[in-house]
Amino acid sequence: MGSSLSNLTEGANGSTNGPGLGDIPESCVACVFLYLTPPEICNLARLNRAFRGAASSDAVWETKLPPNYHDLLDFLPPERYQNLSKKDIFALLSRPVPFDDGNKEVWLDRVTGRVCMSISAKGMAITGIEDRRYWNWIPTEESRFHVVAYLQQIWWFEVDGVVKFPFPADVYTLSFRLHLGRFSKRLGRRVCNFEHTHGWDIKPVKFELSTSDGQQSSCEFCLDACEHDDSSGNHKRGCWIEYKVGEFIVSDSEPATEVRFSMKQIDCTHSKGGLCVDSVFIIPSDLKERKRKGF
């Protein structure tokens, strides 16, 4: 079995037992690579010289990049991508590309090459954020932006944001990433404090999104569970939860799509607090669903 596989990976120059994978023309290998994912291509590149050459072909990697990948490159200084192959450009864009003073990031999914985005709490308009009696900024490694907004207590809770970007044609899901309770490290262990956590089980928070071409979506969630399980506690506390606001459809990257989003609980009959606001994610909908299922 092992010797047979070895013979297959050898070509005409290294085997006397008939044709092997090394005899396949590089152009034919490149045609096959058009139907494979970037991780699959990189794995097969280790087989032999023909596969390695095809795995570096600009013609192959051009198909893995979104049609408007130049819009992402515009956020980078030219010296970062000039003279790079398409494969290296894909590798560059599969890492987060910051923009808007580092408060927003865009990147390509490493498997599908589709565009994903995240927006920091610092890139949003938060009512009362400048008043330390209500809000604080907490540095943390649990956020891709290394900082989250922590609400101690407030009566009028409102967070708004907007992004204008030439999203490629796709169906996108927008969600808020939130955490009930203040977390920290103590003796190397993660601990949560719920001293300020209150008011989120009384009335729901309203989430909304709208786009420049008239699409709208809204929903409501109670951020704190109304019923407590004595054995496991409140399952919504002490962990990051992504709240899906809705979906929007982009049919063309031109003109750029403007997306507005918000969450609010402005019933001033009660105060609320003890909430961490991290970021907003905009991810292709089926890609997000596959990741949720562990694919």
Question: Is 286 a domain residue?
Answer: yes
Question: Is 206 a domain residue?
Answer: yes
- Would you say the C-alpha torsion 80, 85, 115, 141 has a positive or negative sign? negative
Question: Is 13 a domain residue?
Answer: no
Q: Rounded to 5 degrees, what angle do the CA atoms 129, 125, 171 make?
A: 140
Task: Please tell me the total count of domains within the chain.
Answer: 2
> Considering only CA atoms, which of 180, 189, 116 is closest in space to residue 148?
180
Rounded CA-CA distance 92/86 in Å is 10
Q: For residue 129, give the CATH number of its domain.
A: 2.60.120.260
Q: Is 111 helix (H, G, I), strand (E, B) or coil?
A: coil
Peptide bond into 255 cis (omega under 30): yes
Q: What confidence tens digit (pLDDT) does each residue in 25-43 have?
A: 888 888 989 999 999 999 9
Q: Is 99 helix (H, G, I), strand (E, B) or coil?
A: strand
Backbone angles phi, psi at 6, to 5 degrees: -60, -40
Looking at the structure, tell me whether residues 284 and 254 fall in a common domain. Answer: yes
Question: Is 14 a domain residue?
Answer: no
Six-digit token string for 142: 């649990």
Q: Rounded to 5 degrees, what angle do the CA atoms 62, 64, 259 make?
A: 110
CB-CB contact of 22 with 14 (8 Å): yes
Q: What confidence tens digit (pLDDT) does each residue in 156-194 have?
A: 999 999 999 999 999 999 999 999 999 998 888 999 999
> Considering only CA atoms, which of 277, 272, 268 is closest in space to residue 153?
272
Looking at the structure, tell me whether residues 83 and 158 fall in a common domain. Answer: no
Rounded CA-CA distance 162/42 in Å is 37
Question: Is 190 a domain residue?
Answer: yes
Question: Is 9 a domain residue?
Answer: no
Rounded CA-CA distance 22/149 in Å is 56
Question: Is 79 a domain residue?
Answer: yes
Looking at the structure, tell me whether residues 85 and 138 fall in a common domain. Answer: no
Q: Which of 45-49, 58-62, 277-281 has the lowest mean pLDDT?
A: 45-49
Place of tokens 């990257």: 253
Q: Does 44 have pLDDT greater than 50?
A: yes
**What DSSP designation does 108 have?**
E
Q: Answer with the one of 65, 95, 125 that is the final residue of a domain.
A: 95
Looking at the structure, tell me whether residues 173 and 265 fall in a common domain. Answer: yes
Looking at the structure, tell me whether residues 32 and 118 fall in a common domain. Answer: no
Query: What residue ranges in the chain does DSSP mark as E strands?
Result: 97-99, 104-108, 115-120, 125-126, 135-139, 147-151, 157-165, 170-180, 182-186, 189-193, 205-211, 216-221, 240-250, 257-265, 275-284
268 — pLDDT class (breaks 50, 70, 90): confident
Looking at the structure, tell me whether residues 29 and 60 fall in a common domain. Answer: yes
Q: Does 69 have pLDDT greater than 90?
A: yes
Q: Answer with the one of 95, 124, 146 that is the final residue of a domain.
A: 95
Six-digit token string for 1: 């079995």
Q: Answer with the one of 61, 95, 129 that is the final residue of a domain.
A: 95
Q: Does 110 have pLDDT greater than 90?
A: yes
| Mean per-residue pLDDT over the chain, rounded | 89
Looking at the structure, tell me whether residues 146 and 72 fall in a common domain. Answer: no
Total-model pTM: 0.87
Looking at the structure, tell me whether residues 191 and 220 fall in a common domain. Answer: yes
Looking at the structure, tell me whether residues 81 and 125 fall in a common domain. Answer: no
Looking at the structure, tell me whether residues 118 and 262 fall in a common domain. Answer: yes
Domain span including residue 54: 23-95
Helices (H) and strands (E) counted in the chain, each on its own, are: 8, 15
Backbone angles phi, psi at 165, to 5 degrees: -155, 145
236 — pLDDT class (breaks 50, 70, 90): confident
Q: What confidence tens digit (pLDDT) does each residue in 118-160 have?
A: 999 999 999 999 999 999 999 999 999 999 999 999 999 999 9
Looking at the structure, tell me whether residues 86 and 179 fall in a common domain. Answer: no
Looking at the structure, tell me whether residues 42 and 140 fall in a common domain. Answer: no
**What DSSP designation does 13 have?**
T
Question: Is 5 a domain residue?
Answer: no
